[in-house]
Amino acid sequence: MAQQARAVETRRLILQGAALVFDEMGYDAASIKEILSRVSVTKGALYFHFPSKEDLARGVLEEQTLHLHVSPQTSKLQEVIDLTMAVAHALPNDAMLRAGSRLALERGSIDFASDSPFLAWAKVCEELLEQARRDGEVLPHVDCHETAELIVGSFTGIQAFSQISSALLDLEKRVSAMWKHILPSVAIPAALARLDTAPDRGARLQQAHQAAAV
């Protein structure tokens, strides 16, 4: 059991080191040597868990799915909002998330489009929107598939703009503004009035999660 726990911890450390390098340098410029310089593991341990740099990158991308869950709310539209606000809050300090985004968008020697976290994110958003429709929160004309892709695409563009303008420091404010423009064309008025899109929503969600874990 202790050996298994050590293996899990070693894998986690390797992925963290890889995420730092992929975030800073991108896939093609990253090297195993540079990744090893960020973590206290042997080359043999790294290759045991990840036989190649490509496997490392795919491991980082797989980690993105861990961020596709939010606490249940009475409103499924609020859960869609919470998903984006939680990610917006985490991104400035989470190299794993940033690396996953960069790998998914890059078109270098390896195309990671099929592993993109954006596709998984859109699927989760669509499922939540469909539930919101069944709950009577969504306007009749709304196409849940198109809307989910619009939300993820808008977030991705805003993330890129925020990276350029403020190193992601204003991302939460920008995502909050995104929702002010999108929601009136998606939510029925009664549901719209109850939704929380404040820039500090992600921070409050994190605090609640940490308090519940104590």
In a shared domain, residues 51 and 78:
no
pTM: 0.88
Residue 41 shares a structural domain with residue 97: no
Final residue in a domain of this structure, among 31, 59, 87: 59
Are 48 and 111 part of one and the same domain? no
Amino acid at residue number 103: L
Instruction: Read off the tokens for 35.
Output: 């990744």
58 or 145, which is more confident: 145
Interval 69-90: pLDDT, tens: 788 999 999 999 999 999 999 9
The answer on 83 and 41 residing in a single domain is: no
In this structure, the answer to whether residues 26 and 118 fall within a common structural domain is no
Q: Are residues 55 and 145 in the same domain?
A: no
User: The domain that contains 36 carries what CATH number?
Assistant: 1.10.10.60
* Cα distances (angstroms) measured from residue 119 to each of 91, 111, 167, 206: 18, 14, 24, 24
Indicate whether 214 pLDDT > 80. no
Q: What is the pLDDT of residue 48?
A: 93
Is the pLDDT at 203 greater than 70, yes or no?
yes
Instruction: Check whether residue 105 and residue 186 sit in a common domain.
Output: yes
Alpha carbons within 13 angstroms on the beta-carbon side of residue 181 total: 10
Residues 24 and 84 in one domain: no
Would you say residue 147 has pLDDT above 70? yes
Which of 59, 87, 108 is the last residue in one of the domains? 59
Q: Residue 104 and residue 6: Cα distance in Å, rounded?
A: 29
Is a pLDDT exceeding 90 seen at residue 212? no
Same domain, 167 and 145: yes
pLDDT above 80 (res 63): yes
Residues 6 and 112 in one domain: no
Same domain, 26 and 92: no
pLDDT at 192 over 90: yes
Number of domains forming the structure of the chain: 2
Q: In terms of residue numbers, what domain contains 53?
A: 2-59
Q: Above pLDDT 70, what percent of the chain?
A: 94
Q: Please check whether residues 109 and 130 belong to one and the same domain.
A: yes
Taking alpha carbons only, the member of 119, 124, 66 closest to residue 94 is 66
Return d(Cα 210, Cα 200) in angstroms, integer: 16
